[in-house]
Amino acid sequence: MIVLVCGVGGAVGMQRLTGDEEALALARPVEVGQALTTQDLVQVSLRVSDGVDLVPASATSTVLGKPAAYRLPAGLLLTASAVGQPKVPAQGRAIAAVALKPGQYPPNLSAGASVIVLARPSGANPIGELRIWPAVVSVFENRRDMNLAVVSLELSESDAQAVASQQSEHVAVVLTAGGGR
């Protein structure tokens, strides 16, 4: 009993001396809207500055079962704003998905990349005006078993509707430095 009390007292004392706190981080990536589980979370000890809204490890039960508001990578320190109703896409934005074959997208494409989506006209007269939309890749899933990639693109609502209405074989994605036209 004395050893237990001394051990706990020492840990509390050390925490006060070092200023370290126990907070939650992600043990693995979590997708937007995915309910958080104990397997998704890990406790970390770190020094926290004032004004940083980290979820303390003691509040684990308050985030379990709650959806991720954003796509969250493994290792991210969990904040209260990262948990709750999905916040992606933002107001006035939408996400459109296209299935592309190799050659229709750069091999180094990844989530977060700024791109330009190009669509050539289809139908009996394939010669016409090329359509162009700036976008950001929100999810990139390379399905090598099916020889295609599913690319989710965040665009304005009207542009997302236009991209979604295109035939995939007429669409290409160009990686850009800034995503402008």
Q: Distance between CA 116 and CA 161 in Å, rounded?
A: 15
Q: What would the pLDDT profile of 132-171 be if each residue is shown by its tens digit?
A: 999 998 888 888 788 899 999 999 999 999 999 999 899 9
- Identify the domain containing residue 66 by its residue range: 20-82
Please indicate, yes or no, whether residues 45 and 101 belong to a single structural domain of this protein. Answer: no
Q: Which of 82, 101, 135 is the last residue of a domain?
A: 82
Stated pTM of the model: 0.58
**Looking at 58, 82, 106, which one is the last position of a domain?**
82
In a domain, 12, yes or no: no
Nearest to 46 by CA among 76, 71, 72: 76
Q: Which residues contact 106 (CB under 8 A, 6 or more apart)?
A: 173, 174, 175
Residue with token string 């706190």: 21
Q: How many domains does the chain have?
A: 2
Residue 180 in domain: no
pLDDT band at 129 (very low <50, low <70, confident <90, very high): confident
- CA 67/CA 90 separation, integer angstroms: 16
- Give yes or no: residues 97 and 171 share one domain: yes
